[in-house]
């Protein structure tokens, strides 16, 4: 009981919206009392609640509690879209969205439409510890076909777990050194809509890339960094490799949430190291040209990936002469949708989705087909193979006389304002959320050319 009280004070101070403070089960075994002959005491319903993992797995808990997996059914954009979808389809879309965003609530029959998520306990919301760690088979490639075991064992990458209050067992699906672990992540990171459009294709893209080849990199090698530590903070626990559960990539919490600073820093760090870029300013018979090359050198799938129908990455390029702007593209004001600006040169990386009537939409449950302009992933490590080069170059004609300075950067929004404004217009989304949508600059893409060094490439 003493331990439960300690935890109550730590977590009360953080005021986690997700965590029912004090919910740590009173019956929970103390971390030191597990004797070899004891039968597992953490079983059944108690395994469903992430709060019950906190006493022994505090690092995994803290990282997960700030992750998009924990946020996936708190996300106001998700809630707004699901609400609107249920209304506009008269409920016909059912559990499509919650099946991935709050899978335990669906599997246990606690929701049929996701409209009651706010009334459900923490154990039913988001992608929980239990959901990932009880998975024992992957029965498809999209829309969450994961099978949950009923043996109360927590599966992970540790081959020789010590005695725990729950059953613990090794699973290749949970071992980032095993290529099959990508099928577990991929089963949710791949969405096909009811009208048949493959709108999110991260797993598919990874499968077609270099990274899916034997000995290459499963999702966890890039998204769950390893470090030395204790898998469980209990007496006698051996040194292990433990793995980052924050899984920062591009989305961040848009309402007060746990670990937001750390999550945002994690996103920026990964984004800064995603692309290799080059800016060449040249004289040609056609005039002065700016040639911009973007190379998706480090993402294990296309860039951007996933929810690319809502996400925007774009190039901003500005040329100056005597301190005056003489050319610009991709200059997007704050809180304005990228696609709302009139700009014939705009280079934007995104998916476009179209409904059954072939009109463009941004309500992705309506999508019947998509068009896509994303940066491709590496397909071979052999520099002699012509496919080795997968960067994309675009050329912009600059006015004469030539500029004396040209700057560029790639910018990115996890979700853009065309969708958000539309959700506000139908009263599904609180307009305050719009103030919290970040626009990132990718560190590796910030380049500046000046005429002091003559026509040349900056990389």
The residues in 188-247 that bind ligand HEC, with binding defined as CB under 6 A, are 188-189, 191, 202-203, 206, 211, 217, 219-224, 231-232, 234, 237-238, 240, 242-243, 245, 247
Q: Considering only residues 269 through 308, tell me which ones interact with ligand HEC, judged by CB under 6 A.
A: 270-271, 274, 298-301, 303-307
> Does 143 participate in binding ligand HEC (rule CB under 6 A)?
yes
Selected range binding ligand HEC among 9-17, 160-168, 342-350, 402-410, rule: CB under 6 A: 160-168
Q: How far is the CB of 454 from ligand HEC (least distance, A)?
A: 34
Q: How far is the CB of 229 from ligand HEC (least distance, A)?
A: 8
Cα torsion 381, 382, 386, 388 to 10°: value is 20
Residue 214 tokens read as: 């034997």
> Does 169 participate in binding ligand HEC (rule CB under 6 A)?
yes
Q: How far is the CB of 438 from ligand HEC (least distance, A)?
A: 11
Residue 212 tokens read as: 């899916």
> Does 117 participate in binding ligand HEC (rule CB under 6 A)?
no
75 vs 259 by CB, closer to ligand HEC: 75
Burial class (CB in 10 A: 0-12, 13-18, 19+), 239: exposed
CA 429/CA 425 separation, integer angstroms: 8
362 vs 447 by CB, closer to ligand HEC: 362
CA 334/CA 337 separation, integer angstroms: 8
Cα torsion 194, 200, 203, 205 to 10°: value is 120
Q: How far is the CB of 343 from ligand HEC (least distance, A)?
A: 22
162 vs 434 by CB, closer to ligand HEC: 162
> Does 101 participate in binding ligand HEC (rule CB under 6 A)?
yes
> Does 50 participate in binding ligand HEC (rule CB under 6 A)?
yes
CA 25/CA 100 separation, integer angstroms: 27
Distances (CA, A) of 213 to 176, 379, 381: 14, 9, 10
> Does 138 participate in binding ligand HEC (rule CB under 6 A)?
no
Which position among 72, 277, 329, 366 is part of the footprint of ligand HEC (CB under 6 A)? Answer: 72
> Does 416 participate in binding ligand HEC (rule CB under 6 A)?
no
CA 22/CA 234 separation, integer angstroms: 21
> Does 182 participate in binding ligand HEC (rule CB under 6 A)?
yes
Residue among 430, 50, 15, 438 nearest 253 (CA) = 438
> Does 310 participate in binding ligand HEC (rule CB under 6 A)?
yes
Selected range binding ligand HEC among 178-186, 347-355, 381-389, 428-436, rule: CB under 6 A: 178-186
* Site size with ligand HEC, rule: CB under 6 A: 102
110 vs 318 by CB, closer to ligand HEC: 110
> Does 311 participate in binding ligand HEC (rule CB under 6 A)?
yes
Q: How far is the CB of 455 from ligand HEC (least distance, A)?
A: 32
CA 269/CA 262 separation, integer angstroms: 10
Which residues 6+ apart lie within 8 Å of 383 measured at CB? Answer: none
CA 206/CA 260 separation, integer angstroms: 28
Q: Considering only residues 357 through 376, tell me which ones interact with ligand HEC, judged by CB under 6 A.
A: 364-365
Residue among 195, 402, 203, 440 nearest 311 (CA) = 440
CB 362 within 8 A of CB 376: no
> Does 154 participate in binding ligand HEC (rule CB under 6 A)?
yes
> Does 423 participate in binding ligand HEC (rule CB under 6 A)?
no
Q: How far apart are the first and last CA of the chain?
A: 59
């Amino acid at each position: 009981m003493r331990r439960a009280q300690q935890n109550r004070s730590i977590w009360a101070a953080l005021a986690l919206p997700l965590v029912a403070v004090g919910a740590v089960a009173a019956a929970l075994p103390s971390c030191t009392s597990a004797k070899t002959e004891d039968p597992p005491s953490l079983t059944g319903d108690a395994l469903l609640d992430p709060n019950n993992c906190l006493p022994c797995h505090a690092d995994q808990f803290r990282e997960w509690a700030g992750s998009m997996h924990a946020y996936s059914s708190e996300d106001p954009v998700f809630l707004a879209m699901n609400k609107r979808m249920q209304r506009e389809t008269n409920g016909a879309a059912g559990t499509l969205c919650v099946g991935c965003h709050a899978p335990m609530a669906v599997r246990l029959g606690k929701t049929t439409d996701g409209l009651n998520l706010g009334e459900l306990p923490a154990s039913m919301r988001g992608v929980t510890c239990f959901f990932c760690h009880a998975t024992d088979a992957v029965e498809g490639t999209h829309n969450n076909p994961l099978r949950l075991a009923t043996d109360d064992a927590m599966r992970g990458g540790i081959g020789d777990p010590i005695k725990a209050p729950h059953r613990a067992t090794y699973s290749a699906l949970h071992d980032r050194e095993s290529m099959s672990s990508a099928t577990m992540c991929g089963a949710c990171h791949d969405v096909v809509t009811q009208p048949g459009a493959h709108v999110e294709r991260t797993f598919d893209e990874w499968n077609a890339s270099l990274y899916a080849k034997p000995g290459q990199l499963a999702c966890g090698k890039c998204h769950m960094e390893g470090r030395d530590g204790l898998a469980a903070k209990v007496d006698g626990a051996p040194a292990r490799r433990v793995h980052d559960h924050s899984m920062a990539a591009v989305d961040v919490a848009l309402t007060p949430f746990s670990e937001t600073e750390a999550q945002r820093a994690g996103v920026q760090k990964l984004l800064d190291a995603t692309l290799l870029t080059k800016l060449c300013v040249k004289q040609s018979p056609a005039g002065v040209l700016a040639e911009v090359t973007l190379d998706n050198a480090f993402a294990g799938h296309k860039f951007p990936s996933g929810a690319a129908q809502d996400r925007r990455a774009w190039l901003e390029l500005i040329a100056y002469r005597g301190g005056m702007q003489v050319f610009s593209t991709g200059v997007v004001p704050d809180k304005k949708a990228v696609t709302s600006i009139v700009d014939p040169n705009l280079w934007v990386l995104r998916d476009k989705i179209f409904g059954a009537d072939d009109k463009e939409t941004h309500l992705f449950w309506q999508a019947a087909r998509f068009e896509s302009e994303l940066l491709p992933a590496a397909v071979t490590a052999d520099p002699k193979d012509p496919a080795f080069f997968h960067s994309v170059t675009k050329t912009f004609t600059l006015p004469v006389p030539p500029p004396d300075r040209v700057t560029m950067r790639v910018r990115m929004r996890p979700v853009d304002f065309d969708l958000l404004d539309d959700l506000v217009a139908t009263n599904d989304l609180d307009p305050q959320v719009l103030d919290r949508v970040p626009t990132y600059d990718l560190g590796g893409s910030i380049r500046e050319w000046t005429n002091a060094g003559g026509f040349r490439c900056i990389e």
